[in-house]
Structure 1
Amino acid sequence: MRIIPYTDVFAPAFHDINAAWISDMFVLEPHDEHVLSHPRAAIIDKGGIILFAEHPEHGIIGTGALMPTAPGFYELTKMGVLAAARGTGAGGTLLGALIERARGLPDCDTLYLLTSRRCAAAIHLYERAGFVHDAEIMARFGGGYARCDVAMRFPLRDARP
């Protein structure tokens, strides 16, 4: 499996992978629709990053993004893996690559994510990677999605060697 950066050619995969998992568990909200339909404008052009997991036989099977939301703050967002590819390690590989990219962003002081308790497997993956539950992040950013009842922060600067 290899991690590849966003190009506009992959915009449909970004949309489809995320729309599938969100629609399976929740309802696509207006913010989702905007970001998924306009990834360049909503993420890339604002200084964010979108990565993809490419399987040698199955092509693009997963994606995730780092989206700037406030000075010094980046949200780990729109991370999903095709249902048929779950269990391949693509989620963990993407998560590790996104954390490393966040560490390399000079203006990223806080890396956080918003999710739902219904995403138990994802929460477990985030906790194993070092994310911690954070009430301040929930208070500041959690209102952006109706489905959000979990906010987590990654100890980005403390985790540097």
Structure 2
Amino acid sequence: MQFLKFTPDLAPYFDAINREWISDMFTLEPIDEKVISNPQHYVIDRGGYIWFASHPEHGVVGTCALMKKADGVFELTKMGVSSHARGLKVGEKLLSFVISKAEVIAYNTLFLLTNQKCQAAIHLYEKHGFVHDKEILQNYGKAYERCDVAMRYHRKKIQN
């Protein structure tokens, strides 16, 4: 698995991968349409980051963004894997990679918003250090009609 940093020529993958998974489970909301159709403007130009997972046999099959919400505050968002690549652990590898990148970015808060219907994803997030957080839900959850779960990342403490 190779991880690629956003370039404008990868933008169509960001749109297609996110459009597929969101449409499969939910209704695309206006904020989804804005972000996935113009990630350069809504993520990159505003101080955020986007990465892609490229599989040796299947090509670009996953994506994930860190959207800057305020100084030191990032939302892990628009994480998706193409349906034809599910079961290859792409999501797990991509999430680990993005967290490793986030840990070197100067941030105070890393959070995500999701829905209870996404139990497999919630389990993956919990496994990687995200915990449910009511304050995040209150402060940011209104961004999406479908949001009923908010989680905050807790950096792992280094053992001496």
Which TM-score band applies after superposition, normalised by the shorter structure? over 0.9
User: Alignment identity in percent?
Assistant: 53
CA distance in 2: counterparts of 1:70 and 1:150, whole angstroms: 20
CA distance in 2: counterparts of 1:141 and 1:72, whole angstroms: 15
Aligned to 1:80: 80
CA distance in 2: counterparts of 1:58 and 1:135, whole angstroms: 38
1:119 aligns with 2:118: yes
Q: Which amino acid aligns with 1:21?
A: W
CA distance in 2: counterparts of 1:52 and 1:116, whole angstroms: 23
Question: How far 1:120 sits from its partner (Å)?
Answer: 0.7
Question: What secondary structure does 1:46 align onto?
Answer: coil
CA distance in 2: counterparts of 1:43 and 1:102, whole angstroms: 15
Q: C-alpha offsets along residues 73-132 of structure 1, whole Å, 9 cap, x if unaligned?
A: 1000000000111111110111011111111112x1100000000011100100111100
Question: How far 1:160 sits from its partner (Å)?
Answer: 5.2
Aligned to 2:109: 110
Task: List runs of 5+ in structure 2 lacking aligned partners.
Answer: none
**Once superposed, what is the RMSD of the aligned Cα atoms?**
0.9
Q: Which amino acid aligns with 2:75?
A: E
- 1:137-152 equivalent positions in 2, closer than 5 A: 137-152=136-151
- TM-score normalised by the chain length of structure 1: 0.96
CA distance in 2: counterparts of 1:160 and 1:29, whole angstroms: 37
Question: How far 1:71 sits from its partner (Å)?
Answer: 2.3
- 1:12-161 equivalent positions in 2, closer than 5 A: 12-106=12-106, 108-156=107-155, 159=156, 161=158
Question: How far 1:151 sits from its partner (Å)?
Answer: 0.2
- TM-score normalised by the chain length of structure 2: 0.96
Question: What secondary structure does 2:20 align onto?
Answer: helix
Task: List runs of 5+ in structure 1 lacking aligned partners.
Answer: none
CA distance in 2: counterparts of 1:103 and 1:160, whole angstroms: 12
